[in-house]
Amino acid sequence: MEQELNPWRASEARFDIAADHLGLDEGLRKILRTSSKEITVHIPVQLDDGRLEVFTGYRVLHSGARGPGKGGIRFAPDVTLDEVRALAAAMTWKCAVVNLPFGGAKGGVICNPHLLSLGELERITRRYTAEILPFLGPERDVPAPDMNTNEQTMAWIMDTYSMHVGCTVTAVVTGKPLDLGGSRGRSEATGRGCMIVTQEALQLLGLKQEGARVVVQGFGNVGGTAAKLMAQAGFKVISIIEIDGAVYNPNGLDVEALWKHRAETGSITNFPGGENIDPGEAMCLECEVFVPAARENVITSMNAAGIRARIICEGANGPTTPAADEILQDKDIFVIPDILANAGGVTVSYFEWVQDRQGFFWNEDMINQRLKEVMVENFRRVVDCAKKYKVDNRIAANILALDRVAFAIKLRGIYA
């Protein structure tokens, strides 16, 4: 089981399968298996009680072949260089699958943000930024929020970078507050992207959107938004699964009311508009769409056989293990793989970077329209790729991404 749940092993295996289908030569495989740059910094920071502490931070650029690096910065006590490397590579594939002119990057600082004050977090962020500064920039590497970092963290990074270069450079990070060059539509983008690709999948399978039954796992940024937007668009959200329980209503839940109920009571359970149900049972409800949007490794060899959805739209990263994938394929479940399904967020981050560089900001309709264009176009390319190579959608998405990155490397040639 431990083997099954190792996400890095799974993504390496998918890389190899995609590379085999493309007949990629060993040299290119070597380039793409290795990060382009890896920076480790040890950052001294004065804590509120006057003590000095040294924190360790990383920034990894996996590939700059298609453009500047793009990827989040996470603050967590268990961050490792290996993890940051793997996440940077994953960003290369995610950006490439939706054809953004970015490479993949990721960063992390080993710290426990829950034990640090706001002032301490600010000092860590600013010193970390100063240490990796030569590698950052709108044309070099553009960080974004990730686990335990947010708009405020991005504002500090932007300010620190700007102080060093002598002018305000908003395009150095994305996920900023709206008043500092952030983009409209960013907070909803991932959930909206999930809805868009689900709509495409329904159409492809000849299923109706009106009344299509949806089960969503994770009522947070991605799942909560996807559930709200899908309900507004006429889907029937029959169950929401959270960490402390699940609710079910075969006639459709009032998602807005559930949102309020959770805000008031702290839980989605005991919602007057539905009945409590076991979360494991909810995952196996018969439905047209299941959106796992909570965390990794929730669909495994232990429960995949029980899933009765026609479509799985992976809002979360890595929700399905490779062993589960095989079971889902045997059951002919249409899986929209994470690197495509949840790429709406990084797509609107790209729009933020474009707007910052132009100094011209788009309205929300324009953001949503352009997001739709990107998601639809690349959904169709993934499906075409699956047909062409006779593979499932996940391998197809990997093939499409790998092909785009390898093509850029070949076109540029190797500078020696």
Q: What is the largest CA-CA distance in the chain?
A: 67
Q: Could you identify the residue written with the tokens 């080993």?
A: 110
Residues binding ligand NAD: number (CB under 6 A): 19
CA distance 153 to 175: 9
Q: Is the Cβ of residue 143 or residue 315 nearer to ligand NAD in the bound state?
A: 315
- Interface with ligand NAD (CB under 6 A), residue from 315, 351, 362, 400: 315
196 binds ligand NAD (CB under 6 A): no
CA distance 65 to 405: 7
One-letter amino acid for residue 161 of the chain: Y
Distances (CA, A) of 151 to 160, 187, 342, 375: 14, 11, 19, 25
- Choose the catalytic residue: 30, 37, 94, 106: 106
Report, in Å, the least distance between residue 243 CB and ligand NAD.
Answer: 4
Q: Is the Cβ of residue 160 or residue 378 nearer to ligand NAD in the bound state?
A: 378
How would you label 233-242 residue by residue, b for 16+ Cβ within 10 Å and e otherwise? eebbbbbbbb
Report, in Å, the least distance between residue 197 CB and ligand NAD.
Answer: 13
Q: Is the Cβ of residue 162 or residue 269 nearer to ligand NAD in the bound state?
A: 269
Distances (CA, A) of 55 to 17, 117, 119, 135: 38, 15, 15, 19
Taking CB under 6 A as the criterion, which residues in 271-300 touch ligand NAD? 293-295
CB atoms within 10 A of CB 373: 12
Contact region for ligand NAD (CB under 6 A) — 117-125, 151-159, 211-219, 326-334? Answer: 211-219
Question: Virtual CA dihedral for 264, 265, 267, 272, nearest 10 degrees?
Answer: -90
388 is catalytic: no
Taking CB under 6 A as the criterion, which residues in 322-381 touch ligand NAD? 342, 345
Report, in Å, the least distance between residue 49 CB and ligand NAD.
Answer: 31
- Interface with ligand NAD (CB under 6 A), residue from 58, 75, 219, 362: 219
Q: Is the Cβ of residue 222 or residue 324 nearer to ligand NAD in the bound state?
A: 222
- Interface with ligand NAD (CB under 6 A), residue from 152, 168, 221, 301: 221
Indicate if the alpha-carbon torsion angle 146, 185, 63, 121 is positive or negative: negative
CA distance 144 to 373: 23
Indicate if the alpha-carbon torsion angle 365, 369, 371, 375 is positive or negative: positive
Taking CB under 6 A as the criterion, which residues in 222-241 touch ligand NAD? 222-223, 241
- Interface with ligand NAD (CB under 6 A), residue from 6, 152, 317, 329: 317
Residue sitting closest to ligand NAD (CB)? 220
CA distance 350 to 286: 37
Q: Is the Cβ of residue 101 or residue 245 nearer to ligand NAD in the bound state?
A: 245
243 binds ligand NAD (CB under 6 A): yes
242 binds ligand NAD (CB under 6 A): yes
Q: Is the Cβ of residue 146 or residue 159 nearer to ligand NAD in the bound state?
A: 146
CA distance 102 to 71: 9
Backbone angle region of 91, left / alpha / beta, with phi > 0 → left and psi within -120 to 50 → alpha = alpha
Distances (CA, A) of 266 to 238, 243, 397: 20, 12, 38
- Interface with ligand NAD (CB under 6 A), residue from 22, 172, 316, 399: 316
Q: Is the Cβ of residue 22 or residue 157 nearer to ligand NAD in the bound state?
A: 157
Here's the x/- map for ligand NAD, 142-181, by CB under 6 A: it reads as ----------------------------------------
List of residues contacting ligand NAD (CB under 6 A): 190, 217-223, 241-243, 293-295, 315-317, 342, 345
Instruction: Indicate which residues carry an active-site annotation.
Output: 106
